[in-house]
Structure 1
């Protein structure tokens, strides 16, 4: 999958120190999905992932 989708998969840790289980974004996506919400990631500067990311979370109003 594209990197922006891959980061939500369990175990996808790409840190220099390799500490962590890679569960954080997987859990966030699961929780957001349980509330019928959406989550996605965008480059801060379109097309340039080296400048950081924005995570967008949309939840239904009744949540």
Structure 2
């Protein structure tokens, strides 16, 4: 069982990953002065989508 399987099957792990993703986005925006805010947000959304953590969808099983 890989790390991605763990993320998809464990709600607690998904919540931790979302928190880490939000924290990373915030830090990048702070360090760049918000200059690349839109690009960072797009990258975060794409990464979360690929990991099966779409925020627009209700909780997955």
Shorter-chain TM-score category? 0.3 to 0.5
TM-score by length of structure 1 reads 0.34
Higher relative strand content: 1
TM score, norm. by length of structure 2: 0.35
Higher relative contact order (CA 8 A, sep 6+): 2
